[in-house]
Structure 1
Amino acid sequence: MTTITEETNLDAASKPAAVHATTAGAPEHASGAAAHATGNDGPATTDGADGGEIELELQQMEDAATTLQKEGMISETEAEEKREQVARTRKMFRDLSPAERAAIVKRRREIGRELMDRQLSGAAVVQAAVRLNHTRLKPLFEQWWPYLNRMSINLQRFGRSTFGAEDQGAVTAFFEKQVGDLEAYVDEQLSVAQGFREKTEARLKEQGDIVFAPSVTKPSLEIGVEAYSRFSMRLLSLLMKFDKVMDHFDFLVWNGVRDQSDVDEETMRFLRKFHPIGVRGYMTHLRLMTTVRGR
């Protein structure tokens, strides 16, 4: 089973095990509260980082509220409020034009970029250079990493007072498991893609065929960031490793070994695997910020 030919179960991969952005009306993002709630609108209206249809995404939000209630992480009243917010959002989005939906996604990314420009007082940081060659990964980074980065330090500082000692442990365990699973997945993808490329290159040379070695001369994203935690650095490493996987995909497409649609399927699979940790991190960030602002 190779990286490119592996069958993809997109529906299963896209099921978030977390609260979705139905409570995005927190103060920090008041300028786009409803916008953040449903930034995952499907291929025709998103920037490529999500890929779910609006109705599917809203249904997942509703299901997540029920799941969290059963797990005891939110009360019945809070769950009902979230379901009501989903209903309002569903009605609102049915009335929006594709252009308006695209503007919502754009605003969420803009806020992510703004967040990276704000330094956090008293925080011990590690500076990191981020280079992403491929356009598909840039919106993923901008939509989720800035919030996950800020969330990771606030969880250390205010996690107990926000969630309580027991629930803080559950939240931390969720993120550790998600990141661990993603690391294993990306490591496997990189190993398989690199091995497949090497075998393909050797075979083409044996046949006397021309072997193209494409490279990206203008990256999609090249910036310096300040990471607040080891968790944030692990996420950066994940993104940049998968960017290398996509470099191998470019080689396979250029040399006619795989079709671009095959590559797109594998890329979408990664995006959807990243989605649950992005949404949960974003929502955890918002909840932590209510504690920060109350101090």
Structure 2
Amino acid sequence: MSANSPATQLRRGHVDGLPNGEIMTTTDLIPADESSLDASVAASPTPSTLGTIDSTGDVEHELNEMDASADALRNEGLLSPADHEQRKAEVERTRKLFRELQPEQRQAIIRRRRELGLQILDRELAGAAVVSVALKLNHTRLRPLFEQWWPYMNRMSLNLQRFGQSTFTRTELSTLETFLERELSKLEDYVDEQVRVASAYREQRETEMRGAGDIVFVPTIQRPSVSLEVQAYSRFAVRALQVLIKFDQTMDQFDFMVWNGIRDQSDVNEEVSRFLRKFQPLGLRSYTTHLKLMTTVRGI
């Protein structure tokens, strides 16, 4: 691994400890060499449906969401009845395992899951046409969202083009592509509105404060949470990055509002948590699709 690789750069990040919103999956409960990520993924015939832990770290809430996700996958025709039952049973097994884990064991799972995402980010694929994107995210709460979802979304988007027809039926592939496009479009519309409204409100209040002769604080972030160049494999992956970048810009406006007493920090935290929850269905489906595609890739 080079000293300038994305994973190395992220490991040298400026934020100590584990940010809120870390992601783990049921596959993290299985001891495995991190260097054999693709092989361990391919060895699992039914991808895990357990995705992120929300910003509160509430495992029970996350497991409930994964249970509901299995139902949604079944309703959309992406899971057979047998797979559906297996997913739900897996959630119950995971719930029992997590309840029995010590806090330090949970932290170890989180760290391992993070490393697996960074390994995927580090790998270059021969023959893949890429677009390099200079990524900067100021805010720490978006860092785990990027690290743990986007590498899988990026790889999935390429493998879906290459191996989608070999992995899914025509109906399954159509349903999957429709879902991914719909969820990404909804996120794009959401962040566009968020940044537009936040910017306009900030401008209005700043003008009022300056007109009244009030002291106006203009906070800046000196060291971004993420600052690196990534290789995107598809327009889908670039669009997902733009969603993160635009919400990061929205959070810049939130910083101004908090500093100047316009909004309370707890209100801002709620807004950010809402965005993290909105991003989860797209990230989760991309992750499980990546796992299923890898069974095809490894079999070729």
TM range (shorter): 0.7 to 0.9
**Aligned-pair CA distance for 1:22:** 5.4
Quote the residue 1:278 is aligned against. Answer: 283
**Aligned-pair CA distance for 1:138:** 0.4
Q: Which amino acid aligns with 2:66?
A: M
Per the normalisation by structure 1, the TM-score is 0.84
Quote the residue 1:248 is aligned against. Answer: 253
Gaps (5+ residues) in structure 2? 1-23, 31-35
CA distance in 1, matches of 2:186, 2:27: 27
1:52 to 1:71, Cα distance in 2 relative to 1, 3 A: farther
Q: Which amino acid aligns with 2:170?
A: A
The more displaced of 70-79 and 276-285 is 70-79
Quote the residue 2:196 is aligned against. Answer: 191
1:52 to 1:280, Cα distance in 2 relative to 1, 3 A: farther
Q: How does 1:1-295 map to 2 (within 5 A)?
A: 28=38, 30=40, 38=50, 40-41=52-53, 48=55, 51=56, 53-295=58-300
Q: Which digits, 9 at most, give the CA deviation of each residue in 1:2-37, with x for residues without a partner?
A: xxxxxxxxxxxxxxxxxx955777962749x9xx76
Retained in 2: the 8 A contact 1:131–1:240? yes
Q: Which amino acid aligns with 1:269?
A: R
CA distance in 1, matches of 2:260, 2:132: 37
Q: Which amino acid aligns with 2:106?
A: R
Q: Which digits, 9 at most, give the CA deviation of each residue in 1:176-195, with x for residues without a partner?
A: 00010000000000000000
CA distance in 1, matches of 2:178, 2:146: 22
CA distance in 2, matches of 1:242, 1:119: 28
1:235 to 1:40, Cα distance in 2 relative to 1, 3 A: closer
1:228 to 1:220, Cα distance in 2 relative to 1, 3 A: same
CA RMSD of aligned residues (A): 2.2
Retained in 1: the 8 A contact 2:167–2:296? yes
SS at match of 1:127: strand
Moved over 3 A (4+): 20-27, 36-42
1:66 to 1:242, Cα distance in 2 relative to 1, 3 A: closer
The more displaced of 252-261 and 122-131 is 252-261
CA distance in 1, matches of 2:70, 2:277: 20
The more displaced of 200-209 and 72-81 is 72-81
Q: Which amino acid aligns with 1:135?
A: T
**Aligned-pair CA distance for 1:164:** 1.7
How many correspondences in the alignment?
266
1:88 to 1:60, Cα distance in 2 relative to 1, 3 A: same
**Aligned-pair CA distance for 1:210:** 1.1
Q: Which digits, 9 at most, give the CA deviation of each residue in 1:55-77, with x for residues without a partner?
A: 22222322332333343322222
The more displaced of 57-66 and 174-183 is 57-66
1:174 to 1:37, Cα distance in 2 relative to 1, 3 A: closer
**Aligned-pair CA distance for 1:102:** 2.3
Q: Which amino acid aligns with 2:80?
A: S
CA distance in 1, matches of 2:64, 2:214: 50
Q: Which digits, 9 at most, give the CA deviation of each residue in 1:128-148, with x for residues without a partner?
A: 000000101001000100000
The more displaced of 75-84 and 225-234 is 75-84
Per the normalisation by structure 2, the TM-score is 0.83
Retained in 2: the 8 A contact 1:23–1:37? no
Quote the residue 1:8 is aligned against. Answer: none
SS at match of 1:56: helix
Gaps (5+ residues) in structure 1? 1-19, 43-47
Retained in 1: the 8 A contact 2:153–2:237? yes
Q: Which amino acid aligns with 1:28?
A: D
Percentage of matched positions with identical amino acids: 52
